[in-house]
Each structure stands twice: as structure tokens, then as C-alpha cells.
Structure 1
Amino acid sequence: MVSESDSAKNISGNTLRVYVYVLKNGPSELREVQRGLGFSTPSLASYHLTKLMKAGYIKQDEEGRYVANREATPSLLEEYSKVGAFLVPNMLFFAIFFTILIAYFSYRALTSLSQTYVYYLAATSIAMCGAYWYEVVRAWRKLIGIR
């Protein structure tokens, strides 16, 4: 099981990249992970794999290959959705929606004769859009390892 100290919130950056690599490519050996992610040494890949094993996100099979624990996947990747071959933050869809809404309300404010209600809607949309884009950037930074 996942320990409290290595919860999903503590798995980010290269460790999260290693987990996604093993999840995407299936059973992988240490050198495959190292080469696939472009790590300079096998010990760096080993460090991240060990961290994931201690947290319960990865297991080793009989042949010594690393396999993702699919039971732990939902908690680790709950902030992300798969779109094609990419992992994107869930908030991205809402951020795009509210960005389009802002563009629409801005257009309406510039072309409408009655502008009073449009300003309130635009202000609300700007606030919501800012919050969603903040969450998208935060989730992407977590995925690539920037704190």
C-alpha cells in the first residue's frame, strides 16, 4: 500500500515521469527506463524506481522487470487525463472553456449597446479563468518537476 510519507502528493517530476513511462511501456528493465527517459546514469533511474516501489506504485516481477501497480494508478494520476498520447491536467478543459467565454464576453461588450450585464459576466469569467489556468500550470509543473 501507499505510505503516508510517499503519498501521491510527494510523487512528482522525474519520479512521476518514471511511473508514467512504466505504465505506458509495460514491464521495463532498469536500463530501458534510463534510456527511455534520457537519465544520465542507471542509478538515477534506480532511485526513482525504488521510491515508487516503497510507495507501492511499482512492483518487480519474477524476471526483475518493473511493472506499474494499476491499483495505485487512480490516486497518482487523478489530476490528469489522457488525451491521445499526452497526459494533460484535468483543469485544462475548464481553463480553455473559460478562456473562450472571456473572448465571447469581450466581443459582446465591444459590440453590444447594453453593456451593463456583460461587464459583470466578463469580470466573473476573468476571475474563474485565472484560477483554472493557475491550477493547470501548477499541475504541469508537478509533472515536469518544477516546484
Structure 2
Amino acid sequence: MAGEPAEIDRDRVEYELRGKTLKVYAHLLRVDSSGVREIQRELGFSSPSIALHHLEKLERLGVVGKDNVGRYFIARKVDVGILSAFASIGRLTLPRLGFYAAFFTTIAIAYMLESGASANLYAVVGTVGGVVVFWYEAWRSWRKRPF
């Protein structure tokens, strides 16, 4: 893109990337590219001009590009605001705390299987407590996801 800034102003992107603009950005993260009317229908906007306004805002920020046929795509991924609480693996986006929850779950299960009846009560309470807290926080992040 010709008018694309060399470096993205993270503070400005963080300030602008909220509300419907964040929903449009999150939608483009899920799909390869999308047109104005598709975004309007998918996100339930009342008119295509609302989708266009937010797409143009994202284009000015340098995070979205437009191809020759008028479809918009992610030009640069940014981790700002609520998006920093998620990790993307291909098209799959998961809460970062989910990885910690899975790790602690594995550790707790392995410890209990390895030690059997001689498990230390404090170790079991500590690991199970960590498991419960991390899964709860991962679930809360998932509920607040913008996509």
C-alpha cells in the first residue's frame, strides 16, 4: 500500500481499535479477506457504510489493506487491548491462559498418577488450585473475546 506508514503507532492503534472497529478487525482475522457487504451482514451492521467507515479507519491505521477487487485483508497483525490475551495458531485463536491451564492440568494429573496414595496434600491442593484458577480465567477471557 502506497500510503502505509513504515512503523505502526501502537498507542494510536490501541486507542482506535475498540468497539465496532475491533469487531471488524477481529472478523478479518478469522477470514482471509472480505468485502464491505459481507462484513455488514456477518456483523449485523445496519448498512454497508458503517462497515466501510470502520474498514477505512483500519486502512488508515495501516493494519488492513485493500486488494484490486475491493476486498479487505489483514496487512499487519497487532496485539493490543483484549487481543493481547489471545494467541493465534493458524486460524485458531485461543486464550493464552488456556495454555497455562493445560500445563497445570498435565502436571497435576502426572503428579497424582506418579505419587498415588502417597501424594503430598499441599502439593495436590496447590496444583489443583492452580488448575481451577487458570481454567476459570481462560474461560473468562474466552467469554470476553471480540470475535
* TM-score of the superposed pair, with normalisation by structure 1: 0.62
Q: In structure 2, what is the equivalent of residue 137 of structure 1? A: 139
Once residues 59 and 104 of structure 1 are traced to their aligned partners in structure 2, the CA distance between those partners, rounded to angstroms, is 47
Within a 5 Å distance, the mapping from 1:38-57 to structure 2 comes to 38-57=44-63
Root-mean-square deviation over aligned CA pairs: 3.6
Q: How many residues matched?
A: 137
Q: For 1:19, which of 10, 13, 25 is the aligned residue?
A: 25
Aligned to 1:89: 95
Alpha-carbon separation, structure 1, partners of 2:20 and 2:97: 22
Q: Extract unaligned runs of 5+ from structure 1.
A: none
- Other-structure match for 1:58: 64
Distance, in Å, in 1 between the alignment partners of 2:77 and 2:73 is: 12
* 1:75 corresponds to: 79
**Per-residue deviation, 1:95:** 0.8
Alpha-carbon distance between aligned partners in 1 of 2:19 and 2:108, rounded to the nearest angstrom: 32
Greater shift after overlay, 52-61 or 86-95?
52-61
Return structure 1 stretches of 4+ with deviation > 4 angstroms: 103-109
Structure 1 residues 55 and 138, CA gap change in structure 2 (3 angstroms): farther
In structure 2, distance between residues paired with 1:10 and 1:133: 31
Kept after mapping to 2: 8 A contact 1:91/1:136: yes
Question: CA separation in 2, counterparts of 1:36 and 1:54?
Answer: 22
